[in-house]
Every structure is written in C-alpha cells, then in structure tokens.
Chains A and B, each alone.
Chain A
Amino acid sequence: MSFKRMWALFVARNFEFIRDRAGFGWNILFPFLIVAGFGVIFSSDSRSEFKLGVFPVKQDSMTVNELKIPEKLKTYDHIKIVPFETHDEAMDKLLHHKIDILLENKGPKLRYWINNSSPKGYVLEKVVKESIIPEEMFASRVIKQQIKGAQVRYIDWLFPGILGMNIMFSSLFGVGYVIVRYRRSGVLKRLKATPVTAFEYLTAQLVSRVLILLATSSLVWFGCDLFFSFQMQGSYFDAFVIFLAGSICLVSLGLIIACRGTNEELTNGAINFICWPMMFLSEVWFSIEGASAWVKSIANALPLTHFLSAVRKIINDGATLSEVSSEITILLVMSLAFLCIGSLLFSWTK
C-alpha cells in the first residue's frame, strides 16, 4: 500500500470534481435549492396538511368568513380552504385527490362529498362532523395534557432526513456511477497498467467523496440554519462523527455498485433500486412507527435507517456518542462489509 499513490489519486479526483463546472455547480446549487424548498414548504400558507374544497364560490369576490360552512372549520390549523366556482370543477379535483373533501357553500344543512379511497378524506370527514358540535360539549369529557420538555418541531425532525437523503444520492451516484463511467471509457484500464492497487484506488475515491459530502452537508446545514434556526440539542462534534460514519457507510455501498459493469443505464437503475426503498423505509420523510414487523426488518437492514436514527437522537434528543454506540457499530460493520465486498468484486476492466 502506498500513501503517495493514494494521495495522488485523491488530489486528482478532487480536481475532477471541482473543475467539472456543471457537476460542481449542481453540487453547490442543490443544497441551496433544498434550502429554498424548505422555505416554500414551511411557509405558513403551504403547511396545510388537509385541503377542503368549497363550492360554489365566486372567485375573488368572497372571503373565507363569508362562506356558509361551520365557523370552527374556518379557524382550524393545517386545513386549507380551496374555493371552486362550480360543482363539476370541484368534483374533478376530489376524484383526483387534489382536495380531500368537498363542501357545499349553502346552509343550513351541510352537504359534503369525499373520495372513499382517500385516507385524508376519511379523517377530514370526522373533523367536519366534529366542527358542527359546540366546543362546550367537549369541556367535561376530555382533558388536554401538556407535553413536558422541549417539543421537536417537524422541521427539526425532517432536516436530518433531508441531509441523509442528500448524502445517500451523492454517495451512490457520485461514486457508483462515476466509477462505472471510468470503467467504460478505459480510465480504470489505464490505471490498472500502473502499480496502483484496487485498494489504493477505492480508498482514494472513498476519502475524496466523504470529504466532499461533509463539506456540502455543512453548507446545507448552515444555509438552512440561517432560515429556520434549528434546535440542536446535542453536540456538533457528535453530529460530525455520525455524519462521517454515515457518509463512509453510504460511499462504501456505492463502491459495491461500482465494482463491476460498464453499463451506465443499468447502474442508474441499480442505484434507484437501492435509493427508493431507503427513502421510504429509513424514515427520511415520515416515521414507519406502527408499520408491520417485516417492513421494520427490511428497514433495519438499510444503512440509512441507522444513520438517521443516530443523527436524530443527537440533533433532536441531545444524545451523546455513547448513547448511539449501537448505530455507530452497525454503520462501521456495514462499512467494513461493503468495502470488503466492493474490493473483492472490483474489476478494472469490462
């Protein structure tokens, strides 16, 4: 093993990344697009979880207060009221799940429509029915309790997931896809004709990509923090260690994808095949709490699950490294396994 050769390959790969203006620009731009996306998603008007359609409403001439629907409905958070001029127009939106329930703007009897295949419609139907019951009816029957301690905002829970997703895509495409392209074009074959070993080459690629990932993730973090003031409960050093372990693990997974083959389209498909289950099962966007055991078993086999679990424990709950030691161990074991498999199966040529 030669550190001189690894350093030369590491420097060369970094030059490749920085000088590829299109690729580099996208890697810089993408984090800011995520920030902008957050801005739109979490602006007050677009945070509504449910969409309630009302018809007939003359556009631009009627305010929400003038609508003949239960008054309580007009005050609920997370419900966006969408007016329609005609029944047909509104019904079309309901059929296509663009609204969750449709109410007629005509008193005194409340007429409504829901799409029976819509879970949100089902829930909103209960909410609409509840809205016609006076608030006093609940007073003697329910008692609202306050949560003790700091409440985790949804954005604080979601943000580590977004960062993890960004690292996952960048690892798999930035390593897996690029190495397959180098193999197809003969770059790897030229390197094989030198004393460079597969281990030296793969290590240089891994270190270079991990460095790039940590730099771009830091950029996203601080960019988003300017807008949303994240609640960081744990230590930044602990978070850095987890991001480092997670990045190494995901880049190592990318090396398995890159170990063989010259077909970029097939590689693209393989990467998507791995990314999409991780996006849904590793709790990037939503929790899988309550999902069936076999779904959770699959999720536990995915590196992103353990990465995000550890990151959220540190960022949201203030956990220390010792409290996420099981996740770190799993990530390191997975990294080692991926690296061994990737190195053993690695081929320089077609």
Chain B
Amino acid sequence: MSALRESLGFLTSRLRQVGIFVALILIVLLFQVLTDGILLQPQNVTNLVVQNSYILILAIGMVMVIIAGHIDLSVGSIAGFIGAVSGVMIVHWGWAWWIAIPACLLVGALVGAWQGYWIAYVGIPAFIVTLAGMLIFRGLTLITLKNQQITPFPAELRALGGGFLPDISGGTSVLEWLTVILGVGGTAAILFQAIKERRVRRKFNLENEPMAWFAIKTGFIALLMLTITFLLASYRGTPIVLIVLAVLVIVYSALMNNSIFGRHTYAIGGNLHAAELSGIKTKAVTFRLFVNMGVLAALAGLVFTARLNSAQPAGGTGFELDSIAAAFIGGAAVQGGIGTVAGAMVGGLIMGVLNNGMSILGLGTDYQQLIKGLVLLLAVGFDIFNKNRSSGGGSAIGKRFKLRTTPPAGAETKEPAQDRPVAVPAGTEQASAVRNP
C-alpha cells in the first residue's frame, strides 16, 4: 500500500517526464491504428529514423543552447549553407568525401564562432544574432548555389543520408544480424548502466526512484529498443545515420551531465549572475555552445544533402523551428537551466511520428502544421500548468517568474534593496554592474 502511494507520489512529482513518454506511446499507438499498421512496418520505421535524423542532430545542439538560456534561429539556414558548400567542394571541385566532410564541419564551426562572437562577447541577444544569421546564411546559400541545385553526389556521401550497415550474412538471412547484435548489445549496455546508476544513488543515500517505476521504465526502454532493432533488422538493417546519431546522443548526454563544460552550461542558464560570481567564464561557455551548434548544424546539412542527393537553395528551411519545438516538447525551459538531450530526442520523435503518420494518412501540410503547432502549445502549456499547480515544488518556470516580479515575503520587512550596490532600475542596472569587466 505504502509502496503504491510512494510510486504515485513519485509519478506526480515527475509528471512531466512521465507524461512526455506516455504521450509518445499514445501518439505511436494512435497512428498505428489510424494507418492500419503502416506506421510500424519495418520500411516505415526505417524511413522515420532517416527522415528525422537531421532534426534530431540539430535538436541536440539546440537543447544545449536553450539550456544556457539562448536560442538559435539560424540552424536551418546554416544546414542549407553547408549543403551548398559541400556541393561545391565535392561536385564542382571534386574533393574526396573524407576531406570534404571535415572541411564542411570546420566551416560550420566558423559560422558558429561568428555568431558566438556577437552573442557572447558583443552581448547582442541570441535571438537577434541568429535571426540575422538566418537571413545571412540563407543569402550565402543562394549565392553559393547561384540559385540552382547541385547534384549528383558520389555514393560515399549519399551513404551518410540513406546508407545502411553491410549485411554480414551475405543476403541469406531474413534478419540483418549485425543490426541484431548492435541492438541487443546496446540494450544490454543501457540496462547495465541503469542498474549501476541506481546502485550508486543508493550507496550515496540519494533519493531513488521507487523500484516499481524503475523496473517498468527500464523494462519499457529495453523492450522499445529491441522492437526497433527487430523492425530495422527485418528491413535493410541499421541506417548509418542512426549510428552517427546514437554516438552523438551518448557523447552529448555524457558531456551535459558529467563534464565541466556541460555543468557550466546548466549553471549559466539556471542563474547567470550566480554563475559569474562563482568564477565561471560565462562568455567562453556561450561562445563554445554556438561553435558546437554550428558544427552540428553542418552535420545536419550534410546528412540532409546526402539524403536528397542534391544541395538545394531552399535546403534546411524550417529546420530551426522543428528542432526548437523538439527541445521544448522534450522539457527544456524557456528561461534556461532545464532540459536534457534525451528529452529533446523524445520531443523530436514525437514531432517525427506526427509528421510521418499524418503524411501516411494523406493530410496536407496545412493540417500538419496546424496539429504540430497545437501539440507544441499543449506540451509547454502542460509544463506551465503542472509547475503552477505544484508551485513551491519543483516549479522552475513559475518560481523564476515569481522571483523576478515579487520580492520574497521576508524581503519586504528587511528592505533588501537598500544596500544593493545599485538601485535604479534594479534589474538592468544590476545586470550590467555584474557584467562590467
């Protein structure tokens, strides 16, 4: 009885994380029924992965930028621009793919450094800099392509977008065994990691998830992994881009959780002033975040170009909105400080399944956009509602909002503003006081 109550209490305290997962399952089931089972057919699952890979790659960088309290509107244009650059390098200049790919990522890094410089060191809000970047790099895309698509690309590059890992059984088996090995191995690794982490938390006396919830959650994730493995294996195997994506998710999750850089990112987004006063080099961290975003946008551009086998003037249009939506549906907070790479991936998959399912149903882009917009609104609205309801609890947005608008009860009696270094107008001036070198 008490175990049940404990589990329920835990679930309500994590309504958001649980909710997003449940939402993904419900949406999958809904479209599975509506499409008469087409959604989860092996070929369609493979499509789903490949179609969404570039949005998911962008969402990794985007959620990091959002955690730090910024935004990036330019990633679609950057992806398009890098697609154009790769076209010129590979098709026009005849560069080998193994030179062209690093070169394109380097160009992406430079683009990110350009934007990061204006945001971090000049202090222009990211919204403005990247809005400008959205125009600038779209313009450069058109200039580079002279308004015409570049095609065709060599097979090696196309493999990045539409290629699969080789079939080790030589085409004799119904299942792709390499995929099965990777999938089962990956699932085992995830289970092992989850159990290890739970042990560590117990050892250090930290609050742990109730056993029941832990078992259901990890069991479900394992089942999901194995299902996807089976579906992919019974079509053409593992898309190469899925391997790229998996590596990125693992590396960036670790980076955000365990590295100094990742932890400083959360600290900056959570409270910029406290981060600065703790000796964190906030400008350097911001700069690097945008360089990183540039590299990931370049990679997304390459994958997209490879998939289409063509660098197009309008390539990447709208990617920024899908990746931003993925991050927010995945639980990132608008004010920064909150969000996870894994959450952004789930958010991206929700958008992806919606896109894919509605396309199968034959809904036009008109209704697709309408429904995607409503989903985004509902997801973040649910977030805010949930936080207001439990205000005083883990209400990040609500709490931060309240902090800014009304002083805490004690403050009114203690007249805290009196002794602050600057008085008028408190917000802006204090911010600049701290920023002042």
Do A and B bind? Answer: no
